Amino acid sequence: GIQVEQSPPDLILQEGANSTLRCNFSDSVNNLQWFHQNPWGQLINLFYIPSGTKQNGRLSATTVATERYSLLYISSSQTTDSGVYFCAVVYLGSQGNLIFGKGTKLSVKP
Amino acid sequence: DAGVIQSPRHEVTEMGQEVTLRCKPISGHDYLFWYRQTMMRGLELLIYFNNNVPIDDSGMPEDRFSAKMPNASFSTLKIQPSEPRDSAVYFCASSPRGRVQKTQYFGPGTRLLVL
């Protein structure tokens, strides 16, 4: 089956710093989503981005489908950005279930 | 919209007991998914429905697990009998009609502890 690998597994930032999270996937996909799981466990949709670039405030994401990777950029990080960031894909030919990476655990220090 | 609603939010039960988790998808969404999150296995799909019909239940761990969707606004995931290894967070998600490869919206999850 498709492999979804995220890096780095852990990231510690000082408030105000920028960061880039990476997601590599091993097969063609027709759905890619980024989620933020907050400290209370809620999975929050950040982006639906099977290809191209999107921005939402301090967050932006880019997916290069032909090279099988996606990047999530966080600028001017805040303590509320702490949590785990998941990349999840639906691979081409699948009927729709998301395959999740193991996540990047982000801690933003004040 | 209220989003995907799950109940209960927390459940503590003893081994051998029956557990029923409930989900109300976003109105108008045709797809409903049940996922489980554990430390060991991360987030994994258990089963999903399209228009109330189960499409893929290959992720259901064993016969102790069953899921139903009697109508477009309600689904249950049942574990009978429950075991300590079933302890996990169970998420329900829904997706709009049309191509399934659209954004999936997740509920708050049910945190299950089996003693």
Nearest to A31 among B45, B55, B101 (CB): B101
Residues of A in contact with B91 (CB under 8 A): 43
Distance from the B29 Cα atom to the nearest Cα atom in chain A, whole angstroms? 14
Residues with Cβ within 8 Å of A53's Cβ and at least 6 positions away in sequence, in order, are: A60, A61, A62, A63
The pLDDT tens digits for A88-99 are 998 877 767 889
Residues of B in contact with A42 (CB under 8 A): 106, 108-109
Distance from the A23 Cα atom to the nearest Cα atom in chain B, whole angstroms? 16
Pairwise CB contact (< 8 Å): B42 & A41:
no
The pLDDT tens digits for A15-42 are 999 999 999 999 998 889 999 999 889 9
The pLDDT tens digits for B49-90 are 999 999 989 899 889 999 999 999 999 999 999 999 999 999
Proportion of chain B above pLDDT 90, given as a percent: 82
> What single letter denotes the amino acid at residue A7?
S
* Omega before B96 within 30 of 0, i.e. cis: no
Which whole-number Å values give the CA distances from B47 to A47, A75, B42, B87, B90, in the listed order?
23, 36, 16, 17, 12
Quote the DSSP letter at residue B27.
T
The answer to whether B49 contacts chain A (CB < 8 Å) is no
The CA R_g of chain A, rounded to the nearest whole Å, is 13
